[in-house]
Amino acid sequence: MTHFGDHQVSIYAAGMLAGQTPAWTTDLASLERHAAEVLPPEALGYIVPSAGGGSTARANVAAFEQWRIVPRMLRDHATRDLSTDVLGTPMAAPLLLGPVGVQTLAHPEGELATARAAAALGLTYVHSTQAGHSIEQAAEANGDGQRWFQLYWPTHEELCESFLARARAAGYTTLVLTLDTTLLGWRPRDLDRGYLPFLANEGIANYTSDPVFNALLDKPAEEDPAGAGLAFAGVFPNPGLSWEQLPWLRERWDGPIVLKGLQHVDDARRAVDAGVQGVVVSNHGGRQVDGAVASLDVLPGIAEAVGDELTVLFDSGVRSGPDVLKALALGADAVLLGRPYLYGLALGGQEGVEHVLRCLLAELDLTMGNAGCSTPADLVPELLVRSRR
């Protein structure tokens, strides 16, 4: 059993006994500022901002401040265990490395470094369709780790089948179907630069490593990157995606299916009817619809409505250990982390990702203990109160 909070002790010991301080900040709230100092403008403009004026992203973060933890005392928490099982996947903690596209913008090793970091800490890695490294390369980097595959459903049926078959063959156990990005949101920072990495053959490694996709090209992607980018643009937007197509997917994937991007209770209820196994309450970190509701604000209602029938996961706005605790207390079975680990990737590759994860897990562990909790099962709504401010 791992006490992630012991990471705090190791930091103090290194500082006091060996004069060694952390290579990167332990203040998770300042990660974005530190990463901004090393990221090139194109990468910074793609990774950090959100749709429109960013109101949804701000709402995501602000929603966590509306909930305050009420610590309980004299509850034996000397033995703490964050481990859990989500849809048959064992996890050292209820935290997954969520699917983030084009990670090579942050670091040349991109998804490979992230997949290795996840395996090193016993966390689940979720590989994005829009990756800078292929399904198979990420699986090899992840080794014996636990991994899920996130699907952007292409308009080309045979290509979709190929993605699914490749992911299953490479050991990805759960399929995460993203629903909220059938069209790209309005992203001024990218638009002002006229910058979309996919059109430059970056972030489409899953496509250019696929025989079905390559059959669509006049020339290999390495000879004609622009041609590959345009071919991608011909299969990626899928605004015609509908509930009626889910049985087709069910027939071609024999593992659990999770629908990512739900924010309305009725959609969650419809997911139950569709026979999937889970949902991710998410607004894509605010990157799709400006002015949308904060994901945390709708989590309790969705968890209450379908939590007994579906696994309920959560992302959007998570920046710290207490944020994870609050999401779990409000009904999430586990949380997907996004931007923070990408900032770690930018700062230090695999070591940077591991640093961010160790700090976040230590903060979660210590916050749970100081609040009188020993396991994720102790994180119930009664642990929180709404702020009156």
Rounded Cα distance, 51 and 284, in Å? 10
Q: CA-based angle 304:89:297, to the nearest 5? A: 30
pLDDT confidence of residue 389: 60
Pairing of strands 84-86, 89-91: antiparallel
Give strand pairing partners of 262: 281
Q: Is the pLDDT of residue 1 over 80?
A: no
pLDDT confidence of residue 7: 96
Burial of 246 (0-12, 13-18, 19+ CB in 10 A): buried
Pairing of strands 334-337, 384-386: unpaired
Task: List, for residues 227-277, the tens digit of each pLDDT value.
Answer: 999 999 999 989 999 999 999 999 999 999 999 999 999 999 999 999 999
Place of tokens 């680990």: 341
Rounded Cα distance, 179 and 250, in Å? 15
Chain-centre distance for alpha carbon 230:
27
pLDDT confidence of residue 115: 99
Q: Which of 133, 156, 284, 355 is catalytic?
A: 284
| 77 part of the active site | no
CB 131 within 8 A of CB 203: yes
- Is residue 42 very low, low, confident or very high in pLDDT (cuts 50, 70, 90)? confident
Three-state SS string over the chain comes to: CCCCCHHHHHHHHHHHHHCCCCCCCCCHHHHHHHHHCCCCHHHHHHHCCCCCCCHHHHHHHHHHHCEEECCCCCCCCCCCCCCEEECCEEECCCEEECCCCCHHHCCCCHHHHHHHHHHHHCCEEEECCCCCCCHHHHHHHHCCCCEEEEECCCCCHHHHHHHHHHHHHCCCCCEEEECCCCCCCCCHHHHHHCCCHHHHCCCCHHHHCCHHHHCCCCCCCCCCHHHHHHHHHCCCCCCCCCHHHHHHHHHHCCCCEEEEEECCHHHHHHHHHCCCCEEEECCHHHCCCCCCCCHHHHHHHHHHHHCCCCEEEECCCCCCHHHHHHHHHCCCCEEEECHHHHHHHHHHHHHHHHHHHHHHHHHHHHHHHHCCCCCHHHCCHHHEEECCC
Residue type (1 letter), 117: A
- Is residue 150 very low, low, confident or very high in pLDDT (cuts 50, 70, 90)? very high
Pairing of strands 334-337, 124-127: unpaired
How distant, in Å, are the alpha carbons of 53, 55, 115, 161, 303 from that of 285?
13, 11, 21, 28, 19
pLDDT confidence of residue 2: 67
pLDDT confidence of residue 49: 85
CB 315 within 8 A of CB 349: no
Average pLDDT over residues 13-34: 96
Output the six-digit token pair for 51: 């749709």
Average pLDDT over residues 286-291: 97
- Is residue 45 very low, low, confident or very high in pLDDT (cuts 50, 70, 90)? confident
- Is residue 298 very low, low, confident or very high in pLDDT (cuts 50, 70, 90)? very high
Average pLDDT over residues 217-234: 95
pTM over 0.95: yes
Q: Is the pLDDT of residue 46 over 80?
A: yes
In sign, the C-alpha dihedral spanning 220, 226, 229, 234 is negative
What is the residue-averaged pLDDT of the chain?
96
* Residue % of the chain over a pLDDT of 70: 99
Average pLDDT over residues 142-171: 98
Neighbouring C-beta atoms of residue 33, cutoff 10 Å: 11
List of domains in the chain: 6-238+248-386 (3.20.20.70)
pLDDT confidence of residue 131: 98
Pairing of strands 311-314, 278-281: parallel
Contacts of 358 (CB under 8 A, 6+ apart): 4, 7, 121
Rounded Cα distance, 45 and 28, in Å? 20
Q: Is the pLDDT of residue 371 over 80?
A: yes
